[in-house]
């Protein structure tokens, strides 16, 4: 089966080489893949790095994305793809050598319209703040007890995703009005059309999150805005969990008294898990950074929605 790999990117000179190396080293047959790097007018060395890989491997191509946003990049990639299956990868991540092989296998096994798996954040820097940010992923207050025997299950969305190409012929493309969360909106649309999305725990990608509190906070604000703003363009709500940050920030004077004990409790769990008392004091700051950032962003999104 032919597989097209789409990698949207913009200013990813720190990560694109690692990402491409992990794709090049896949166990899936090279003659059955084509890799489309869709670049959003990068202002750093991203295109230079990609072009070096193109000189070595004829299955890699680079396409321009003048709109610079993820949704447009995905659509450009899909329209130029050759594959029966289309896998959308983040340039900010690396992938085990059997990633494509597993995507193809499980797509066929479950006859799924989209399959994807678990995202494991990886710290870029060897310091306590970067490590604490990584530990805050996976849930509202992090996730340290991964279920090793978790089974494949149907889901409403998955990270990246391996789609049947016919899906795009059936329900259309990514909504280019959305700067973020277009993949989430697309998957909601896919589910509402009767599509089947499978979460496969053994399909793993390793993602590099922000590694300092300032960048982490700004990233959370942007995510919060696009938890709310999609309604302006789709007129259909996202899942309830995406509105929790807005509820949190609007009821902060009331819920803060409940929030802090919960935050301390989970920080203590992480501290015990890591066997490092420092996490007891650092994790509440990281959690607050995450939740306040999401909440403020959601409030800004609400203002943009109604004004």
Over range 80-94, report the average pLDDT. Answer: 95
> Would you state the pLDDT for residue 124?
81
Question: Hey, CA dihedral for 15, 18, 21, 27, is it positive or negative?
Answer: negative
For residue 140, name the pLDDT band (cuts at 50, 70, 90).
confident
> Would you state the pLDDT for residue 62?
97
> Would you state the pLDDT for residue 91?
94
The least confident of 48-52, 164-168, 189-193 is 189-193
Say how far apart CA 301 and CA 87 lie, in whole Å: 30
At 292, which helix (H) or strand (E)? helix 278-306
Over range 28-47, report the average pLDDT. Answer: 95
> By percentage, how much of the chain surpasses pLDDT 70?
97
Q: What is the DSSP string of 87-155?
A: EE--TTEE--TTHHHHHHHHHHHTT-SEEEEEEEE--SSSSHHHHHHHHTTTSBTB-----TTPPPEE-
> By percentage, how much of the chain surpasses pLDDT 90?
77
Q: pLDDT of 144-166, one tens digit each?
A: 765 556 789 999 889 889 999 99
> Would you state the pLDDT for residue 200?
95
For 52, the 3-state DSSP assignment is helix
In terms of CATH architecture, what is 3-209? Alpha-Beta Complex (3.90)
For residue 112, name the pLDDT band (cuts at 50, 70, 90).
very high
For residue 242, name the pLDDT band (cuts at 50, 70, 90).
confident
When comparing pLDDT for 121 and 148, which is higher? 121
The domains of the chain are located at 3-209, 220-306
> Would you state the pLDDT for residue 149?
66
Whole-model pTM? Answer: 0.90
Q: pLDDT of 284-305, one tens digit each?
A: 999 999 999 999 999 999 998 8
Over range 15-35, report the average pLDDT. Answer: 95
To the nearest whole number, what is the mean pLDDT of the chain? 92
> Would you state the pLDDT for residue 146?
55
Over range 182-207, report the average pLDDT. Answer: 92
């Amino acid at each position: 089966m032919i597989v097209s790999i789409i990698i949207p990117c913009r200013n990813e000179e720190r990560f694109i080489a690692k990402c491409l190396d992990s794709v090049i080293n896949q166990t899936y047959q090279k003659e059955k893949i084509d890799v489309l790097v869709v670049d959003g007018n990068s202002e750093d060395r991203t295109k230079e790095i990609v072009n070096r890989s193109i000189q070595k491997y004829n299955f890699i191509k680079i396409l321009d994305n003048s709109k610079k946003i993820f949704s447009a990049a995905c659509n450009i990639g899909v329209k130029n793809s050759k594959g029966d299956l289309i896998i959308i990868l983040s340039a900010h991540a690396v992938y085990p050598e059997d990633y494509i092989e597993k995507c193809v296998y499980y797509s066929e096994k479950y006859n799924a319209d989209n399959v994807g798996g678990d995202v494991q954040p990886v710290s870029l820097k060897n310091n306590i703040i970067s490590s604490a940010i990584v530990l805050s992923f996976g849930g509202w207050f992090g996730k340290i007890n991964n279920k090793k025997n978790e089974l494949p299950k149907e889901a409403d969305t998955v990270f990246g995703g391996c789609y049947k190409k016919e899906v795009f012929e059936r329900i259309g493309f990514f909504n280019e009005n959305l700067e973020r969360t277009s993949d989430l909106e697309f998957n909601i649309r896919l589910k509402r059309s009767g599509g089947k999305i499978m979460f496969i725990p053994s399909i793993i990608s390793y993602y590099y999150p922000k590694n300092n509190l300032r960048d982490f906070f700004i990233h959370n604000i942007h995510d919060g805005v696009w938890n709310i703003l999609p309604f302006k363009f789709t007129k259909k709500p996202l899942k309830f969990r995406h509105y929790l940050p807005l509820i949190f920030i609007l009821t902060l004077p009331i819920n803060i008294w409940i929030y802090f004990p919960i935050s301390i409790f989970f920080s203590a769990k992480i501290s015990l898990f890591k066997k490092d008392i420092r996490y007891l004091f650092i994790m509440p700051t990281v959690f607050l950074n995450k939740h306040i950032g999401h909440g403020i962003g959601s409030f800004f999104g609400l203002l943009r929605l109604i004004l």
